[in-house]
């Protein structure tokens, strides 16, 4: 890779606050920990046990904990925590851990760039030679069946400079049983942003071709003409909420918000007044908490500049009072008619208000 390309990659990763999103679970130097002194040795030791979850969760606490069911979900929780612990032991330990956590067919989409495990490892090798990445607490760890969504803090240290940020990831797991255990099938580490243009330098021809085909499909995607919003805005990786009245109430609110957004600005602002609490907070792309008055003002400005169509979901994960969304959108800039596509990740906190549920917090990447 040319020096200029490497420089662009590092600047982009740091500037947009999602440095080293590793397969949704392998990231994680906790604050204050030093890199292992023998990081460059080949005989690095890693942690690989399903029996140390309680110990690890004390080191990597979840600020907003939610229910984790026995079986596969508990295994996924352990893999997330174990991944953080192994990251603490340096790049070589994380790379060794990757042979356990992933299969040869595992794919991870890093800042929107589709990468194989080897390609992702190559990108991190470049990054970690130029910066120290320290991961903090989890804000959320939603685990629903074979999928997880995580939202956590990180700090990047470059020389004397420290840069703070947050990351969201969605990952699909599979239990291979026997000696293979619970492993990653596919994941999305953050969304497509400026770091994408550095990450694509690590793609092979196959990944570039598949990604180009996917983006073309998004640009030409037609939202179904349906009155049933569950058919109008499908979920690519659906979870089973049959009989779960609370989860289905959340889904109805989420789908209504999608539809009102796509109608027009007045319809969406009326939805916000109706379905968000008056004291709700909205944490936007820049990481700043906003009141509902500030949020609605920003949305008004956004609708003046561009048209954004929300198309469909990768995931709607719900556990307890939280929902995690990963969805696709299409943007058209009003002044130039330029069209682009991308994805968003969002965590929503609900609360009961009389006989209904409303949103009291929203966090978006």
Write out pLDDT tens, residues 15-73. 333 334 333 333 333 333 334 344 445 679 999 999 999 999 999 999 999 999 999 99
According to DSSP, residue 40 is labeled T
pLDDT tens sequence across 249-305 = 999 999 999 999 999 999 999 999 999 999 999 987 667 889 999 999 999 999 999
Rg (CA), the chain: 20
How long, in residues, is the chain?
A: 365
Q: CATH 3.10.450.50 occupies which residues in the chain? A: 3-213, 221-364
Residues with Cβ < 8 Å from 300, sequence gap 6 or more? 265, 269
Q: What's the mean pLDDT when you consider all of the chain?
A: 87
pLDDT tens sequence across 349-362 = 999 999 999 999 99
How far from the centroid of its chain's Cα atoms is residue 149's Cα?
Answer: 6
**pLDDT for residue 93:** 86
**pLDDT for residue 12:** 39
Region 109-121: mean pLDDT is 93
pLDDT band at 307; cut points 50, 70, 90: very high
According to DSSP, residue 235 is labeled B
The class of domain 221-364 in CATH terms is alpha beta
Write down the architecture of domain 3-213 according to CATH: Roll (3.10)
**pLDDT for residue 58:** 94
The answer to whether the pTM exceeds 0.85 is yes
Residues with Cβ < 8 Å from 291, sequence gap 6 or more? 279, 281, 282
Q: Given a cut of 90, is residue 135 above it in pLDDT?
A: no
Pairing of strands 161-175, 147-158: antiparallel
Of residues 220, 241, 219, the one with CA closest to residue 230: 241
Pairing of strands 182-189, 147-158: unpaired
Task: Please give the share of the chain, as a percent, with pLDDT higher than 70.
Answer: 88
**pLDDT for residue 89:** 81
Range list of H helices, the chain: 3-15, 53-59, 72-87, 91-101, 117-128, 196-199, 205-219, 229-232, 245-263, 265-275, 292-305
**pLDDT for residue 91:** 86
Q: Given a cut of 60, is residue 308 above it in pLDDT?
A: yes
Question: Residue 66, class by beta-carbon neighbours within 10 Å (0-12 exposed, 13-18 middle, 19+ buried)?
Answer: middle
Take residue 142 and report the two structure tokens written for it. 């939603």
């Amino acid at each position: 890779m040319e020096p200029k390309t490497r420089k662009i990659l590092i600047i982009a990763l740091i500037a947009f606050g999602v440095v080293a999103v590793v397969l949704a679970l392998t990231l994680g130097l906790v604050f204050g920990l030093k890199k292992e002194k023998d990081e460059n040795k080949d005989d690095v030791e890693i942690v690989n046990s399903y029996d140390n979850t309680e110990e690890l969760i004390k080191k990597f606490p979840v600020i907003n904990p939610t229910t984790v069911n026995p079986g596969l979900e508990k295994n996924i929780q352990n893999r997330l925590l174990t991944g953080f612990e192994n990251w603490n032991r340096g790049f070589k330990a994380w790379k060794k851990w990757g042979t356990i956590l992933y299969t040869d067919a595992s794919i991870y989409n890093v800042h929107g760039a589709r990468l194989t495990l080897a390609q992702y490892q190559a990108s991190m090798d470049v990054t970690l030679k130029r910066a120290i990445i320290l991961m903090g607490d989890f804000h959320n760890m939603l685990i629903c069946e074979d999928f997880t969504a995580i939202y956590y803090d990180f700090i990047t240290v470059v020389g004397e400079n420290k840069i703070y940020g947050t990351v969201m990831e969605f990952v699909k797991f599979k239990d291979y049983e026997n000696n293979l255990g619970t492993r990653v099938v596919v994941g999305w580490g953050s969304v497509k942003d400026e770091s994408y243009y550095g990450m694509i330098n690590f793609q092979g021809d196959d990944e570039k071709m598949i990604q180009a085909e996917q983006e073309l499909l998004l640009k030409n995607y037609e939202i179904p003409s349906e009155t049933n919003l569950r058919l109008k805005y499908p979920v690519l990786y659906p979870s089973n909420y049959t009989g779960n009245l609370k989860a289905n109430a959340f889904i109805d609110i989420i789908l209504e918000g999608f539809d009102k957004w796509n109608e027009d600005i007045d319809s969406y602002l009326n939805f916000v007044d109706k379905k968000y609490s008056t004291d709700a907070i909205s944490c936007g792309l820049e990481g700043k908490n906003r009141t509902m008055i500030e949020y609605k003002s920003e949305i008004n400005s956004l609708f003046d500049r561009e048209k954004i169509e929300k198309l469909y979901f990768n995931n709607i994960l719900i556990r307890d009072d939280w929902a995690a969304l990963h969805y696709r959108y299409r943007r058209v800039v009003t002044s130039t008619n330029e069209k682009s596509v991308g994805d968003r990740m969002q965590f929503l906190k609900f609360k009961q208000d009389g006989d209904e549920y409303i949103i009291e917090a929203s966090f978006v990447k």
